């Protein structure tokens, strides 16, 4: 059985070797960020936001 520490250490090493991330960059990243980068490397690209989503984001976060 692999412990969390073992799995995290292995993933940190892979992030350094494959992505060029420093240990600090790996540990500062959220699990969602790591998953997004790994998914992108695996060819899993998210669909771009639709116009309604973009409009909602512009309204919520205006650039002023």
CA dihedral sign, ordered 45, 42, 1, 32: negative
d(Cα 46, Cα 40) in Å, to the nearest integer? 8
Over the chain, what is the mean pLDDT? Answer: 90
Number of domains, the chain = 1
pLDDT 10s digits, 3-31:
999 998 998 999 999 889 999 999 999 98
d(Cα 10, Cα 4) in Å, to the nearest integer? 10
| Stated pTM of the model | 0.57
Residue 23, Cβ neighbours under 10 Å: how many?
A: 11
Range of the domain at 11: 4-60
């Amino acid at each position: 059985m692999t412990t969390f520490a073992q799995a995290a250490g292995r993933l940190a090493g892979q992030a350094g070797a494959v992505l060029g991330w420093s240990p600090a960059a790996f540990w500062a990243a959220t699990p969602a960020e790591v998953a997004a980068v790994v998914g992108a490397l695996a060819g899993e690209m998210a669909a771009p936001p639709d116009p309604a989503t973009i409009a909602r984001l512009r309204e919520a976060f205006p650039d002023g």
